[in-house]
Amino acid sequence: MFRIPFDRVNWITSSFLIGTALIAIIGAPIYFFHYGIDWFQFGMFFFYLCATMMSITVGYHRLFSHLAFKAKTPVKFFTLIFGACAFENSCLNWSSDHRRHHKHVDHDEDPYDISKGFFWAHIGWLLFKLDPEPPMDNVADLRKDKLVMWQHKYTHWIGLFVGLILPAAIGYGWNTMFGLDPVQGALGGFLIAGVTRIVIAQHCTFFINSLCHTVGSQPYSNKHSARDSAVMAFLTFGEGYHNYHHEFQHDYRNGVKPWQWDPSKWTIWTLSKLGLVEGLRRVPDSKILLAEMGEARRRAEDRIHQIKSVGPGYCQRTADLLSKVAEQLAANYHELEQAVTDRVQLSREVLQDWQNETRALMRQLSRITMPAMA
């Protein structure tokens, strides 16, 4: 029988997460029922949601946790202010947990280890104290940043004022200016751009730790549970391409393909053109393709092993066809691997041809059906 370990409950965090969720679920519908949709409130909610989520993805995650680029003070200040408004702890704490997650993914030292269950990875690790509490011994570089340390000291006060009090004050002022009910404006700002936005932003972030380690594809590696999900990328401003991210964590991009939805990547690139960020780190296209080829080759070999494990009744023709696909994938892989090792500069056209051939071979592989048992 399940028993809640009350001695391990993080009461402050649990009360905040549960309390804000209840206020959003109950309070927001009541507000809309009585006052209808207020387009100013919706606009403020949209701005706050984008600012908060982008501050987590661009700032907390790619800038501070992975050092994927260097940012000037205005960008750092903005992401630290609105990152605090997500109420996901300070940038220093967040980055420490996230770096530990990458170092120990799917193992006990991983703070939000998916092998402990979906609930644990999503929110359980926040509701219950980690025992023992992991030391913050992996953020020495961030401790040297005065802005990061200032935010670490005042993060809850920043979140309270900018994330909850300010939207209420703006709503109050807007309604007063246009002769509307100021109390309604303040209540709307607090409920919609404040509490409801916090709950949505938090759970979208939490889903990266849970859903993106449960559902989706693994085009680059199956050595860990991280998966790519276009749906989650849309909900998390590009963070859903998690299998790629775990293979190449220092790349400033998550959606590395031109068609993949990654507003965080586009924002960082735009800021670089404006001179506000620099030193964007990118993984060479040849290494990305090498990872894709390696994973495709492994899948082909697994299919061959599955077919042959059927026993004497397996279809030799199917096995031969699979072997040809696997041999071609292996040949392409070794040729590209040698080029990468020798640091040969490969043109985009050559890489594109290899990629197209790999995808064609993978489509051919997917059409090969397993034989029935004899």
Quick one: which of 269, 324, 302 has its CA closest to 370?
302
Question: What total number of domains does the chain contain?
Answer: 2
Within-domain flag for 372: no
Residues 253 and 314 in one domain: no
Question: According to the model, what pLDDT value does residue 126 have?
Answer: 95
Peptide bond preceding 132 in cis form (omega within 30 of 0):
yes
Q: Are residues 262 and 296 in the same domain?
A: no
CA-based angle 183:187:189, to the nearest 5? 115
Query: Does residue 314 lie in a domain region?
Result: yes
Split the chain (374 residues) into runs of 10 and give each run's mean pLDDT: 72 95 96 92 97 98 98 98 97 97 95 95 92 86 97 98 98 95 96 98 97 94 95 96 97 94 98 98 89 81 68 59 69 69 67 72 64 46
> Are 98 and 245 part of one and the same domain?
yes
Domain stops at, among 251, 278, 305: 278
Coil, strand, or helix at residue 291? helix
Q: What is the pLDDT of residue 280?
A: 98
Q: Model's pTM, two decimal places?
A: 0.89
Residue 227 near residue 217 (C-beta atoms within 8 A): yes
For 63, other C-beta atoms within 10 Å of its C-beta total 25
Q: What are the residue ranges of helices labelled H in 163-315?
A: 166-177, 182-188, 197-210, 230-235, 242-247, 263-273, 285-308
Q: Is residue 1 part of a domain?
A: no
Asked whether residue 252 falls in the same domain as residue 296, the answer is no
Residues 114 and 179 both lie in one domain: yes
**For residue 70, what pLDDT is reported?**
98
- The rounded distance, in Å, linking the Cα atoms of 86 and 199 is 8
Task: Flag whether 374 is in a domain.
Answer: no
Range of the domain at 84: 6-278
On whether the CB atoms of residues 37 and 154 are closer than 8 A, the answer is no
- Kindly state whether residues 157 and 299 are assigned to the same domain: no
Residue 81 forms part of a structural domain = yes
Contact assessment for residue 251 and residue 68, using Cβ atoms and an 8 Å cutoff: yes
Domain boundary among 231, 251, 278: 278
Residues 16, 87 contacting (CB under 8 angstroms): yes
Q: How far is CA 24 from the centre of its chain?
A: 23
Residues 266 and 332 placed together within one structural domain of the fold: no
Sign of dihedral through CA atoms 78, 242, 95, 111?
A: positive
Looking up tokens 């040969």 gives 344
Element (H, E) at 31: helix 28-35
pLDDT at site 282: 96
Q: What is the pLDDT of residue 135?
A: 84
Same domain, 42 and 89: yes
* Residue 126 placed within a domain: yes
Compute the chain's Rg from CA coordinates. 24
Residues in the chain: 374
Asked whether the beta carbons of 65 and 94 are under 8 A apart, the reply is yes
pLDDT confidence of residue 374: 42
Looking at the structure, do residues 141 and 249 belong to the same domain, yes or no? Answer: yes
Question: Does 315 lie in the same domain as 243?
Answer: no
Pairwise CA distance, residues 331 & 313, whole Å: 29
Are residues 291 and 274 part of one domain?
no
